[in-house]
Chains A and B, each alone.
Chain A
């Protein structure tokens, strides 16, 4: 660097430095906050009261039978297919084609085949059962959500799994052209997303084939048109946008478990005593509405221990 730079040169450098500074600030702002602008208008829909029949297998744990508001439950989602940000699933899912939708069944079953979503529902959408489940994310937040669907066991029975089938793998759709998160170069996940359950877990009456939430099917951010809901496990064990169901004898791989086995167990049942390596699972932040968040203790099997604990004999550690 020369020491005989004259005053004009320094002025130019100051100008360059200032311009670079402004560009950096602008670039940072655009990259980080650009998509938030203009903001979607805040809706003030209050948490609805569940319209559920007593006979339904509804398990409401909170004293005042309260649901999370639909706005919160549909604007704060993890669906890395659309992006890692919680707002990406509703913001980036505009191009996602939900119809037609077919699901193929293969592997160890007597009646493999491909079925249209209407066949899977087996009845008009409005006739499906509504179940209110506590949804617990591995990130230690939770919501109370009414799901529309039917027990997954109804569907599985129809394709007659063989006695040798011990596991069920669920494969999500692969459409990078409609799902920006799948197209992203910055994601380390292997697409398509695959999750799996044991056949006993899949056949458990609480495991719910889900076609809508809050009576609404048009919600790709919540995993529609077809997902399953396994309420006693962390949320990522409830795969979304399912297009293929495979019966196997060997334990199938599961996306997050492959990504980081130390942090995401294959079973991933909710055990408050077993921490995620990076955070505690002892409590959760219950999201009731936009900005209305309550810290509550977490419960073994997310509160469904009575129904499912018998599936897991022996030490909890093997079912983490």
Chain B
């Protein structure tokens, strides 16, 4: 029941976005809104997934940890939607052009690398994969911090003149990294 509610909550931005798209409420250029909003929600949930174990420890509320995988999979879902919209709206499914863009444009390279990282984590998020990978699983999944670093720079590279949002997100990401490094040599969650 709670699990269902959690999934519904995490799906809310996607549902609202889909309804707004259908209702022609995304403005003159809905394609751009879809790309930007799925991107920002990937970042939001990525921060949430990293915050979850910290909140669980601080509040002694281990139940929260059960929803980490759910949030993580939603991070991957929003990232995939973001990537698909980019492919469809900006590249028109032109795969040679995708390869060219990845080579030529650092922000595309970083975004693609982040998506691949999240893809690897999503693929190995099952109980079976956890069992098979054993002690390597934890090390592999600390790559979520790699994904965080990649999306942070990806977003910073989008700055043209207004830097408030990207720099705010970069500060939060930096905070998460510092917290992680500081607690790294103490008890691991």
Q: Kindly report which residue of chain A lies nearest to residue B16, judged by CB atoms.
A: A33
Given A17-B59, A187-B161, A189-B161, is A279 in contact with B27 using a C-beta cutoff of 8 Å? no
Q: Are B29 and A76 in touch, CB under 8 angstroms?
A: yes
Which residue on chain A has the smallest CB distance to residue B25? A39
A295 touching B162 by the CB < 8 A rule? no
What separation, in Å, do the CA atoms of A249 and B89 have in the docked complex? 44
17 sampled A-B residue pairs with Cβ under 8 A: A10-B60, A13-B60, A17-B61, A42-B24, A76-B28, A80-B162, A86-B27, A141-B29, A188-B161, A189-B161, A259-B161, A277-B105, A278-B157, A279-B105, A280-B100, A290-B27, A293-B31
**Residue B97 interfacial (CB < 8 Å):** yes
B23-35 CB mask vs A (1 if < 8 Å, else 0) is 0111111111000
Chain B residues whose C-beta falls within 8 Å of the C-beta of A293 in the assembled complex: 29, 31, 89
- Given the interface contacts A10-B61, A275-B104, A278-B105, does A86 sit within 8 Å of B28 by beta carbon? yes
In the complex, which residue of chain B has the Cβ closest to the Cβ of A76?
B28
Contact status of A86 and B105, CB under 8 A, knowing A186-B163, A187-B161, A280-B97: no
The 7 nearest A-B residue pairs measured at CB: A76-B28, A84-B162, A186-B164, A13-B59, A14-B59, A10-B60, A72-B28
Q: Does A245 contact B (CB under 8 A)?
A: no
Alpha-carbon separation in the docked complex, A297 to B111 (Å): 25
Number of interface residues of A (CB under 8 A): 37
Say yes or no: A75-B161 contact (C-beta < 8 A), given A10-B61, A13-B59, A295-B92. Answer: no
CA distance A80 to B161 in the complex (A): 9
Asked whether, in the complex, the Cβ of A14 is within 8 Å of the Cβ of B61, the reply is yes
Cα A181 to Cα B41 in complex, Å, equals 25
Q: B61 contacts A291, CB within 8 Å?
A: no
Shortest beta-carbon distance from A65 to chain B in Å: 21
Q: Are A13 and B58 in contact (CB under 8 A)?
A: yes
Q: B58's closest neighbor in chain A, by CB? A: A13
- A84 surroundings in chain B (CB, below 8 A): 160-162
What 0/1 pattern do residues 146 to 189 of B give for CB contact below 8 A with A? Answer: 00000000000100111110000000000000000000000000
| Binary contact track B48-69/A, C-beta < 8 Å → 1, others 0 | 0000000100111100000000
Tell me whether B145 is interfacial, beta carbon within 8 Å: no
> What A residues does B126 contact at CB under 8 A?
none
Q: Would you give the shortest CB distance from B140 to chain A, in whole angstroms?
A: 28
Task: Kindly state whether residue A165 has any CB partner on chain B within 8 Å.
Answer: no
